[in-house]
Amino acid sequence: MPIYEYQCTRCGEKFEVRQAIGEDGAKLNCPKCRAPNPKRLFSSFFSPGSSTTEPSGTSCPTCSSGVCGLPPM
Ligand SMILES: [Zn+2]
C-alpha cells in the first residue's frame, strides 16, 4: 500500500498517510490543527535523496533550450 504525503493548507503541517490506490484525501484531517482537505504532495515512490533533472526555471519543458516559442506550461 503506497504512502502519500500531505500538507495541511492551514498550518503547513506535513504528514504521511497510507492509502489504497484510488482513495483521495477528502476524509483526511490535519493531525495538528484538524483542518480538512490537506494538499497531496509527491513523495510516495521517490526517495528523498534522488533529485530529478527537471529544470526549476520557467523554460519550456518540451525543448530544454526554451526557444520553441511556446509559452511555458
Ligand atoms: Zn494543520
pLDDT tens sequence across 40-58: 887 545 545 545 555 555 5
Residue 67 lies in a domain: no
Average pLDDT over residues 8-16: 96
Q: Are 17 and 8 in contact (CB under 8 A)?
A: no
If you ran DSSP here, which 8-state letter would residue 47 be given?
Answer: -
- % of the chain residues with pLDDT over 90: 29
CA of 7 to the centre of ligand 1 (A): 8
If you ran DSSP here, which 8-state letter would residue 42 be given?
Answer: S
Number of domains in the chain: 1
Domain span at 33: 1-45
Total-model pTM: 0.50
- pLDDT value for 56: 54
Q: Are 60 and 72 in contact (CB under 8 A)?
A: yes
CA of 33 to the centre of ligand 1 (A): 4
CA of 15 to the centre of ligand 1 (A): 10
- Name residue 68's amino acid: C
In angstroms, what CA-CA distances link 58 with 14, 52, 69, 70? Answer: 27, 16, 13, 12
Residue 51 lies in a domain: no
